[in-house]
Amino acid sequence: MNQKRQRIINLTLSYVVIIIMAVIILYPILWIIGSSLNPGNSLSGSSVIPKDATFAHYKDLFNTEKSNYLLWYWNTMKICVLTMVASVALVSFTAYSFSRYRFIGRKNGLMTFLILQMIPNFAALIAIYVLAVLTDLLDTHLALVLVYTGGAIPMNTYLMKGYLDTIPKELDESARMDGAGHFRIFWQIVMPLAKPMIAVIALFTFITPFTDFILARILLRSEDKFTLAVGLFEMISKQFGNEFTKFAAGAVLIAIPISILFLSLQKYFISGLTAGGTKG
């Protein structure tokens, strides 16, 4: 009887914790969606369920005469896709080299990556700005792609290497005996088995340009080059803080491509996140 009562108590506490966490996570999301549908420009009367819901703010964002939102969206998507592709390619090659080969400086290289991943990008803002000026990349999307890609390499290389270490090297040896070269082993044998970690890295690197404001604000100067974060901020600043509901609508639309990519790659995430922490 005591065990049954204890089981009921534990189950009740579990549900209470789950409900509390769900409210903490879902309430801000529902509130920002409600704010985007709220008529007017102020957030003071916003609620989860607005009284007179309207899609006027979304229409204004898609109106090219009133807003450059679509251009900012395109800029951000372009930077996200290029960063994701470049990061996945470079991280895959780098992690494979550290995992499968033994060379001078290997341990020091891994230690350097471990240290670099502890340093945030904004700690080197001045250096990044100076490099962009010297290379004539200031106010270009290429500068952001290079910075995002370079910043993603250390941490993701460490994660990818840990995952590749779990793939038996006997597969490589068998393929090599059958006449396969280094690149064929990498492309046709190892990478297909590393899809879970590739999916994780792809999602992480895709999200970064959407959520970053500081680097984009420093490197971009022209309004037609802005990303969504910078563009929405400038839109609020120019209107003296009177466009918060439109800002909320723009923020809601940001979640669409991230959600689509997450749902598309969801089946790979659990195994990728759990296996990537293996010590090599």
How is the chain classified by DSSP, letter by letter?
A: -HHHHHHHHHHHHHHHHHHHHHHHHHHHHHHHHHHHTSSSS-STT--SS-TT---HHHHHHH-TTT--HHHHHHHHHHHHHHHHHHHHHHHHHHHHHHHH---TTHHHHHHHHHHHTTS-GGGGHHHHHHHHHHTT-TT-HHHHHHHHHHHHHHHHHHHHHHHHTTS-THHHHHHHHTT--HHHIIIIIIHHHTHHHHHHHHHHHHHHHHH--HHHHHH--SGGG--HHHHHHHHHHHTTT--HHHHHHHHHHHHHHHHHHHHHHHHHHHHHHHHTT---
Please check whether residue 138 is in contact with residue 219, taking contact to mean a CB–CB distance below 8 angstroms. yes
Confidence of residue 158 (pLDDT cuts 50, 70, 90): confident
pLDDT at 56: 85
The model's pLDDT over 44-82, given as tens digits with 9 standing for 90+, comes to: 656 667 777 788 888 888 888 878 999 999 999 999 999
pLDDT computed for residue 276 by the predictor: 43
pLDDT of 147 reads 93
Per-domain residue ranges of the chain: 2-54, 58-275
Residue 277 has pLDDT above 50, yes or no: no
What are the φ and ψ backbone dihedral angles of 139, each rounded to 5 degrees?
65, 35
- At 15, is the pLDDT very low, low, confident or very high (cuts 50, 70, 90)? very high
pLDDT in tens, 212-247: 999 999 999 999 999 999 998 888 777 555 678 888
Task: Give tens-digit pLDDT for 175-186.
Answer: 888 888 889 999
1 pLDDT above the threshold of 60: no
**How far are the Cα atoms of 33, 72, 99, 208 from residue 231, in angstroms, in the given order?**
19, 7, 41, 16
Whether 240 contacts 232, CB under 8 Å = no
Answer yes or no: is pLDDT of 152 > 80.
Answer: yes
**CA nearest to 54, candidates 243, 245, 250:** 245
Quick one: pLDDT at residue 43?
64
- The matching CATH number, chosen from 3.30.465.10, 1.10.3720.10, 1.20.950.20, 1.20.140.10, for 58-275 is 1.10.3720.10
